[in-house]
Structure 1
Amino acid sequence: MRLLYTLLLLSATCFTQVLAQVTITGKVTDEKKEALIGVNILVKNSTLGGVTDLEGNYSFEVPDAEATLVFSYTGFQTQEISIKGRSSLDVVMSEATLMINEVVVVGYGTQRKSDLTGSVGSIKSSELQKVAASNVTQALQGKIAGVNVSSASGRPGEGPVIRIRGTGTLNNANPIYVVDGLILDNIDFLNPSDIESMEVLKDASAAAIYGTRGANGVVLITTRKGIRGQKAHFSFNAYNGIQQVGKRIDLANGTEYASLVNEFYRNVGGAPPYANPEAFGEGTDWQDIIFRDASIQNYNLSVRGGSEAMTYSISGDAFLQDGIIRTSNFNRYSLRVNNEYNLVKGVKLGHNLAFISSASNREPGGIVFNSYAADPTVIALDENGKFGSTSTNSNVSNPAAQLRYNSYNRGYGQQLNGNAYIEIYPIKNLTARSSFGFNSLNNRGKGYEPQFEVDDKQRNPQSRVSAEFSRYNDWQWENTLNYSREIGVHRFSILAGYTQQARSGERIGGSRQRLIGDTEEFFYLDAGDVETATNYNIGNNPERYQSVLFRANYNFKERYLFTATFRRDGSSKFGSERRYGNFPAFAVAWRVIEEPFMKNQNFLDNLKLRASWGRLGNDKFPSDAAIPTVTNNLSAVFGNTESLNFGASLISLANPFLQWEETNSTDLGAELGFLNNRLTLEVEYYQRNTNKILVPVPIPDYVGSASNPFVNAADVRNSGFDFTLNYRNTVGKLTYRVGALASTLKNEVLSLGTGNEALFATATRTIVGQSIGSFYGFKVVGVYQNAEEIAQNPTREAVAPGDLRFEDTNGDGIVDSQDRTYLGSSIPNLIYGFNFGVDVYGFDFSVDFNGLSGNKIYNGKRAARGFGIPNYEASFLERWTGPGTSNFEPRITNGGYNYQVSDRFLEDGSFFRLRSAVLGYSLPKKLVERIKLNSLRIYASGNNIFTWAKYSGFTPEISSDNVLQVGIDGGVYPLSRTWLAGINISF
């Protein structure tokens, strides 16, 4: 009887549980309303649940109508939602601020973010799309601590200059770029829409796997791939906008300029040329002549998907940009095909291929400076079609005439690059990979100038055409073995590899004059006079690399992390004595948050400490530095017959003992998470000591070498802190995020070799104890007001009241060249950024700011005085005209004493910029589905909207690839302010 009672009770209980079970269905999407595949869904405190399918849908039974479901997905915030009697539940998941299990790309592989021991900054595709730019690296500006991105020019298609944790060499300080495993020096060709993520390897532990190339930092780029098991997913993205010059310079108008010229002639004892300056009024605004509002457009169509046998990602893109300077433009068309094939079990084949075609036209040379300096009393073009002469007073070309006669500067490029690879899985946990990559670039350029004459100085007596063709080829073969294993509390991976790379290239070109026609069909060398022909053919010394690499990662109990890296590189750029270099690195990390003693606290959600040391190399210097070079473009008449003999002469000496520049880098970091990891903080201290930097050493003229040989001599140190702070939260339908970053930097030259001889360049001097390329000249302490002041103070030469008074810095009672001194640095000591974003009810809004401080700019435009009288900035109207009138702007002169390099021309380079603002709206899902789409978003955005800066020039971003000449503004192509509207469609 008792047994029967028990059976009846169990049956009733089971029947009750069956009646209590309900079926729950729904769909899981991200904040862009795109389906998330494979989201893990569990009933809280149980093992019951399911996963989302290819459309993001799910359906399973739950034991209780009041159950709570836990939604978790890598890279997104975990959510717990009570069913509350519902049978349908759609969920929108937000990206996690601290993606502890996020997989990030590292050299030759991937790692979980929680396992990283090195310093790696990451930016995803969603961030890259916010800034409309021809070059993807511009999107890094203000996004990753320790990375300074500055635009060397606003010219269409021009890439920015990137410095990762300072400038560590006196040679090429650019980082390397690794696109899907292919090592490149330039990624101007890349289409931003094709990129899935960018990672920046900042310390030696992260970058040492690239050995010789890693000293200046490494930027890893992963392009979009297909998705296994997903049907074809199409995306169409387009925007159209307008660009405007971000800032114009306030210059003297026609009346003011004529008055200044009259004053100049009176000062030098000449007759004033203008009887009535007021008659010129405002005069010609040459900036209006050259600048324009210019269009920018981009159209991108892509399809991604896959089956069990293959995945595919195909995209085509057209980028069309007119420059804000008339006649300049840049157009790029690209096609990318990334496929992967599983043909047989244990074998995977794949390729990442891109073809790019570009066309551009450059503005006439020097036109920016000419628009700044040209005489405003001159008319650009009169009613008879004759151009005014601006060389009479201002001694520069008429910019309007330049646009007419000097604007045919065409460039065309075709590039094919990518890689093909095979992966084999011979045994469990072991992956063997072989990849062959290539980069083929062919460029051609053509310039044409007709016969014309504006005046005696701006003229071309014979029409002429020039043409140049260049090719560049690069191949790379990499073979790696990667073994990963987890045994209890131990998890480790081992990577070993062998790589080879080779580069070569050449240029050929020529020119002719007196063309037989002046229309484009005659713009070829054969159309010119053969007697005026010139030609050249320049070959780049081939470069060969051979490397072995090794890396081991070990994880114990998810608490203690260890990484060891080693790479040995050989390069043909060095002599036989020092061809190979060894580059080791070691790193440790402690995930303190996983320790038992941290379990009972609720203040911290993440605490990780890490430290690393490593040695990196740099070989970015002339490829012929270790070998002697000669020129055979010489001839001489000698001998009894006095005949012409062709010969050669030594250009540079060989140094077979050259070796790698070495950077020893130390990094200490801490990662913290608060408020359920909604608030995260990363703090790092770094020190990079670069030794054996290659510098040219002066040799006696009698040696006969045209250039100084390179030796390993200099040492430079960069040190500072990186800070990254992020907060993200969701309240109901509202998701908001705030981020800030800052980096400090101290750059110091430690040694310049035997004798520590200074390196000089225009307005700069590099010496021990100061930063690279420091500004060097006289300090201005005022303006001489009268003859008594001149008599009472040290002077350099004959001066008059109204001239600048330079400081006697060494106190010897005279002012001479020995009183030139340090005036400041072009390298900022603080780089920072700030961003904010919010999403609610389909609307998304975000703003990004960036800035820097502590740097100086040398305004070379103001300092440039030729034989004429260029125009003046309006600030010069506050010049000295008599005792007590000014103590900072001297009297009007032209060149000479008052225009020597001094801090008169140095200005504060600090700025704070509203980099971008985006407002978008995504149509409701139900509405979009009615028109057979997955999503539809429209948006409006602005880039470089406003800049707060003290600098008086076009832009405070003045950079250069020449590290000794950074921060010198000789007439840079201005940056543009861009307004655009766009649409994103997926179907």
Structure 2
Amino acid sequence: MKIYTFFKCEQPNSTLNKFLLVTKLILFFLASTILKVNASSYERKINLNRANEPLGEIIKKQPTAIAKARDIFAEIDLRGKVVDGKGESMPGVSVKIKNKTKGVVTDVNGNFQMKAETGDVLVFSFVGFKTAEYVVVSGKNDIRIAMVEDQANLDEVVVVAYGTQKKATVTGAIASIQTKEIKQSPAANLAVTLAGRLPGLTAIQRSGEPGADVTNLYIRGQGTTNAQSPIILVDGVERDLTYIDPNEIESVTILKDASSTAIFGVRGANGVILVATKRGTSEVPEINFTSESSAQSFTRLITPVNSYEFATTRNLAQANDGLSQTYSASDIEHYRTQDDPLRYPDTDWRDILTKKYSLQQRYNLNVSGASKAVKYFVNVGQLSQGSQFKNEDNLPYDPSYNLKRYNFRSNIDIQLNKTLKAYLNIAGTLEKQNGPYYTPGSSQSSFFVIAYMAAQGATTPGPLTPDGKVLTNTILAGAPPYGLLNRFGYQRLNRTNITASYGMDQSLDFLTKGLSVKAQASFDTRSGNLLYASKGFERYIMVIDPVTQDVSYKLANSIQESPLSLSGVNSYSTLANLQGFLNYNRTFNKHAVTGLILFQQQSNIIDVQLPFNLLGVASRLTYGFDNKYFAEFNAGYNGSEQFAKGNRYGFFPAVSGAWLVSNEKFLKNNKVITNLKVRGSYGEVGNDRLSGARFQYLDNISIGSGGYSSSLGNGQRINIATLGNPNLQWEVAKKANVGLELGIFNSFNLVVDVFKERRDNILRNQGTVPVLNGLSLGVLPKLNFGVVENKGYEIELNFKKAYSKNLSLLAKLNFNHARNKQLFADEAILPADYAYRYRETGYQIGTPFGYIVDRYFTDLTDIANSPKQSVGGHESRPGDFKYKDLNNDGLVNARDYAPIGNSNIPENQFGGAFNLTYKNFDLSALMQGVSNVFQYFNQPYGTWEGFNYVKRHTESWTAERAASGEKINYPRITTQGSPNNIPNTFFIVDASYIRLKNVEIGYSLPTNLSRKIGSKGIRIYANGLNLFTWDKLPTKDFDPEVGSSRDNLAYPMLRMYNFGVNVKF
């Protein structure tokens, strides 16, 4: 059949008309061919002479075959369902039309609906499954697609240093989690969400204070006595993890061994955390809105005794000291019955100062999408966190603890032409942290309020006089907690953080296939403004007339009311980072080769300090043969301004290899062992973050005032603070790692890693040099001679199974053990009569030393017949601790000091998580715990006049209690010093715990209901943080994780109950 077409267009030069005409003519020709029209029936010329008439209308009036062509290429309402190999529904599968922008995502039941044309190719993709394609056929409107799971997800792409790799080709020790797990926690600090989820990572939260909820991160424990925290890279640049909105995160990856961190050279010894933020992927624009509201409370808080218990315990303490007692029997009875609460109050300071619950709210909106030329992800978020402390409502200022944070992120990718790509990442954070005023320079703003709240006894009336003045007692006259919290003023910290990165990636395939070059420039700026607004306030004490019993109030001291006095501190920092990459990635038959050469220059300026600089090159070379055998070489050559010229650069190489046994013929397609890989690595990495001052290769000498005999002139002399070490260098970590990955039945996945590290060149003070020329050991230069060994293992076990069409389970368990030992510390050995002659050498970093408690002394005879207790500067009395005489010299003193626990950094950490899905419901939980960790928990406040007691003080030793066999939870109570309040095995306690860290339950509305309001999906959920804790502490006044900071009086940890809704458009 021959078809001749002639069209006369009213606008013949119109590009659009030309394009439409040509397109429809092509379709016209193809349609005729597809229909296989009988050529003899239509072997004739058709003349068309039409003006201003749609081509479709023209075709309608033509012979039948041509009209059918129009019907063939009309859009079809296509419906379908996507299932896995077992026939189970697959939600979240991306369905796109190849070479077009159209696309949808399957709903919770695996269903999708879209318009397509005959001949279109649908592409189905989902992480962990092989991509599937389907060609649209006319007349078939309802389809079913079965996707095939990748063997052990080996085609999954994981983030590595400055790039990505297929999971199958990874030879190093890495671990990662995705955004879904991160968002299951309502914590305001992103670092908190990582606890228990990644094998090898220890996350310890030391405070719950809004905006100051510090979380310490360690990878594989402690390897040095200097800075131990890993470096954190957000999209390839060193940045802060704390303030990132969880909705911005795509994945978090930790790099643990030398193979994965050697490329970072002088800064990689403590491990690396890589944060990848989201980017546009789907060709269908998607809008996500999330709203959350949380009720938060303290996990634990000190519970002081009531006034009756306080009075009786105080009298007991004074009796033990041989002193007259403050409270008469009549007083105590009044406190017990509370028949005269004005004169004999029972003040619950915890109830007065704290709330049971406070509010946290979080809102997030993000938009993402992609076209052939542009991909985009834009996110805005807002967080508002309230305080657990009560504040007065009508103050002219806001002294409450609260946090407001605003986040913005925009990630744009542009395909400029076939070979050139560009991207621009911009992010910003504005944060306002508020709290009551405290003395500038103090390390913890919340400590004072918490401490004095715990210390102020229930017999102190308060909080205010009848006319609204602050009440206190004579001991706490300078720091009544109610006044500190409300009348002392406020402080406000405004922080602004802006980060920007621009990069271009040019393919050089025209030179050789697989070659490309990339450049990136980043600039970050951070500013802070801390406003102090302080004021004076009057403190009053209550006075009772001993004759008339009349109550009056008098000033406790000379401090008067004063207006707010303002002062402030500003800070500013910038970071400039330049990176240049030369990349190579090519496969030759069975040979796969990749290469990377990286140049990096970074300068970080903090306030008016000299810049912190980094300059160097790094490289990576990988080789794979037949997808079975893999080898990798990484190296970093870089330097730091911390060291003297000529001694600033170091070379840090690492090699690794892996054997993917499951791809061998004897295991290929094995139904039991679906994945088996062994790998190993060895290399050297550095650490230039040294404790103490910068530029320690220089002498620290100053000129000050002095006497004539030692002066440069009259009234001047040289002060030597420290001598420099011109040979100062970085630490060197030599790391070895062996790993095994095993997959069984395509459901169980086991990963085991065993590691050993030797850290040399640790900078330490000299301890064995005699004092020379009047110089103390502290003046002598630090030297690179410390040695620490750190070794351990990690186990991760995952299970994934779909039990039925509507039921699936994902479970994860991980355990990591890391134990260090100080091999050399230049420590002077103690005399032979010491029970333990070293305090550091041979022990863990941070091992506590103290006395070992044997029992309580029963009476004076017992004391006389026991080794003399020469400790704490006080004589022993009945009820005091009897310490062990370890060297058997008949005297207990410093020679009997012994290791009495482990470090306050856990030796073991474990986590267990699961996610259960049933129809539209989902349930997930995370258990997290630590062991072999010790903390110092002491509560000395009751030993000071006017200060409070807690429950365990009321269970202290007495002769009567000891004789009756009652449980004794505290030594002899006293108002004076004693040999008890020193480091010993009673106060150094095992702080191991297991915590129900997170629980989340959610429900996704059926698709048909969501679509009625124009939504692609709606999910309602509730989750919680720090819900239950089981531990070994002798008291439940403290949370075991917060630690021993000032007797554990930092802002307590928070428990949160959160409700949220997520809507997609």
The verdict on a shared fold, with TM-score over 0.5 as the criterion, is yes
Structure 2 residue aligned with 1:896: 978
Structure 1 residue aligned with 2:817: 744
Tell me whether 1:334 sits opposite 2:407 in the alignment.
Answer: yes
The change in CA–CA distance for 1:193 and 1:61 in structure 2 (over 3 A counts) is closer
The change in CA–CA distance for 1:114 and 1:565 in structure 2 (over 3 A counts) is same
The change in CA–CA distance for 1:757 and 1:413 in structure 2 (over 3 A counts) is farther
Matches within 5 A, 1:349-388: 349-363=422-436, 365=445, 366-381=448-463, 382-388=465-471
Residue 752 of structure 1: CA displacement?
A: 0.6
The change in CA–CA distance for 1:786 and 1:120 in structure 2 (over 3 A counts) is same
Q: Of 228, 241, 259, which residue of structure 1 is paired with 2:312?
A: 259
The change in CA–CA distance for 1:547 and 1:757 in structure 2 (over 3 A counts) is farther
Structure 2 residue aligned with 1:518: none
CA distance in 1, matches of 2:991, 2:1030: 11
Residue 857 of structure 1: CA displacement?
A: 1.2
CA distance in 2, matches of 1:32, 1:70: 15
Residue 285 of structure 1: CA displacement?
A: 2.4
Structure 2 residue aligned with 1:719: 791
Contact 1:25 1:60 in 2 (8 A): no
Tell me whether 1:868 sits opposite 2:945 in the alignment.
Answer: yes
The change in CA–CA distance for 1:685 and 1:278 in structure 2 (over 3 A counts) is farther
AA matched with 1:240:
S
Range with bigger deviation, 950-959 or 406-415:
950-959
CA distance in 2, matches of 1:793, 1:574: 56
Range with bigger deviation, 416-425 or 51-60:
51-60
Contact 2:93 2:125 in 1 (8 A): no
Matched residue of 1:167: which SS? coil
AA matched with 1:258:
A
Contact 1:634 1:647 in 2 (8 A): yes
CA distance in 1, matches of 2:353, 2:236: 43
Tell me whether 1:667 sits opposite 2:730 in the alignment.
Answer: no
Tell me whether 1:291 sits opposite 2:368 in the alignment.
Answer: no
CA distance in 2, matches of 1:141, 1:915: 8
- Greater C-alpha Rg: 2
Structure 1 residue aligned with 2:480: 398
Contact 1:433 1:480 in 2 (8 A): yes
Contact 1:541 1:623 in 2 (8 A): no
Q: Of 179, 194, 199, which residue of structure 2 is paired with 1:145?
A: 199
Q: Of 781, 799, 803, which residue of structure 2 is paired with 1:709?
A: 781
Q: Of 286, 291, 294, which residue of structure 2 is paired with 1:238?
A: 291
Structure 1 residue aligned with 2:911: 833
The change in CA–CA distance for 1:78 and 1:415 in structure 2 (over 3 A counts) is closer
Structure 1 residue aligned with 2:6: none
Residue 652 of structure 1: CA displacement?
A: 3.4
Structure 1: gaps (5+ residues) = 1-10, 12-21, 41-49, 64-68, 507-538, 759-763, 961-965
The change in CA–CA distance for 1:504 and 1:116 in structure 2 (over 3 A counts) is same
The change in CA–CA distance for 1:949 and 1:203 in structure 2 (over 3 A counts) is same
AA matched with 1:483:
Y
Matched residue of 1:369: which SS? helix
CA distance in 1, matches of 2:427, 2:149: 30
The change in CA–CA distance for 1:51 and 1:34 in structure 2 (over 3 A counts) is farther
Contact 1:153 1:974 in 2 (8 A): yes
Matched residue of 2:155: which SS? coil
Tell me whether 1:822 sits opposite 2:899 in the alignment.
Answer: yes
Tell me whether 1:248 sits opposite 2:301 in the alignment.
Answer: yes
Tell me whether 1:877 sits opposite 2:954 in the alignment.
Answer: yes
AA matched with 1:737:
L
Structure 2 residue aligned with 1:178: 233
Matches within 5 A, 1:902-941: 902-941=984-1023
Residue 289 of structure 1: CA displacement?
A: 2.9
Residue 570 of structure 1: CA displacement?
A: 1.0
Structure 2 residue aligned with 1:318: 382
The change in CA–CA distance for 1:23 and 1:258 in structure 2 (over 3 A counts) is closer
Residue 93 of structure 1: CA displacement?
A: 7.7
Residue 981 of structure 1: CA displacement?
A: 0.8
Residue 850 of structure 1: CA displacement?
A: 0.4
The change in CA–CA distance for 1:732 and 1:457 in structure 2 (over 3 A counts) is farther
CA distance in 1, matches of 2:721, 2:561: 34
Contact 1:23 1:62 in 2 (8 A): no
Residue 820 of structure 1: CA displacement?
A: 1.4
CA distance in 2, matches of 1:29, 1:931: 27
Matches within 5 A, 1:314-713: 314-326=378-390, 327-363=400-436, 365=445, 366-381=448-463, 382-392=465-475, 397-406=479-488, 408-427=490-509, 428-454=513-539, 464-506=565-607, 539-599=608-668, 601-621=670-690, 622=692, 624-628=694-698, 649-675=719-745, 677-697=746-766, 702-703=774-775, 709-713=781-785
Structure 2 residue aligned with 1:528: none
Contact 1:954 1:974 in 2 (8 A): no
Residue 660 of structure 1: CA displacement?
A: 0.8
Q: Of 278, 302, 327, which residue of structure 2 is paired with 1:274?
A: 327
CA distance in 2, matches of 1:728, 1:458: 70
* Identity across the alignment (%): 29
Structure 2 residue aligned with 1:849: 927
Structure 2 residue aligned with 1:525: none
Q: For 1:874-913, what per-residue CA distance to the aligned partner results, in whole angstroms no more than 9, with x for missing partners?
A: 1222212216346663211233312122122122201111
Q: For 1:93-147, what per-residue CA distance to the aligned partner results, in whole angstroms no more than 9, with x for missing partners?
A: 8998942211011001100111110111110011111001222121111101111
Residue 176 of structure 1: CA displacement?
A: 0.7
AA matched with 1:54:
G
CA distance in 1, matches of 2:968, 2:877: 14
The change in CA–CA distance for 1:279 and 1:386 in structure 2 (over 3 A counts) is farther
CA distance in 1, matches of 2:819, 2:260: 22
Structure 1 residue aligned with 2:1057: 979
CA distance in 1, matches of 2:587, 2:761: 42
Tell me whether 1:54 sits opposite 2:54 in the alignment.
Answer: no
Contact 2:536 2:561 in 1 (8 A): yes
AA matched with 2:469:
K
Structure 1 residue aligned with 2:94: 36
The change in CA–CA distance for 1:396 and 1:716 in structure 2 (over 3 A counts) is farther
Structure 2 residue aligned with 1:217: 271
Structure 1 residue aligned with 2:867: 794
Residue 854 of structure 1: CA displacement?
A: 1.5
Contact 2:104 2:284 in 1 (8 A): no
Range with bigger deviation, 848-857 or 896-905:
896-905
Structure 2 residue aligned with 1:733: 806
CA distance in 2, matches of 1:807, 1:457: 47
The change in CA–CA distance for 1:161 and 1:193 in structure 2 (over 3 A counts) is same
Residue 259 of structure 1: CA displacement?
A: 1.3
Contact 2:594 2:622 in 1 (8 A): yes
Matched residue of 1:897: which SS? coil
Residue 625 of structure 1: CA displacement?
A: 4.0
Contact 1:97 1:679 in 2 (8 A): no
Structure 2: gaps (5+ residues) = 1-35, 37-75, 106-112, 337-344, 391-399, 439-444, 541-555, 832-836
The change in CA–CA distance for 1:291 and 1:127 in structure 2 (over 3 A counts) is same
AA matched with 2:567:
S
CA distance in 2, matches of 1:958, 1:405: 32
CA distance in 2, matches of 1:450, 1:60: 71
CA distance in 2, matches of 1:542, 1:70: 51
Matches within 5 A, 1:22-171: 25-26=79-80, 28=82, 33-34=91-92, 36-37=94-95, 54-56=103-105, 73-76=126-129, 88-89=142-143, 98-157=152-211, 158-171=213-226
Tell me whether 1:803 sits opposite 2:880 in the alignment.
Answer: yes
The total of aligned residue pairs comes to: 902
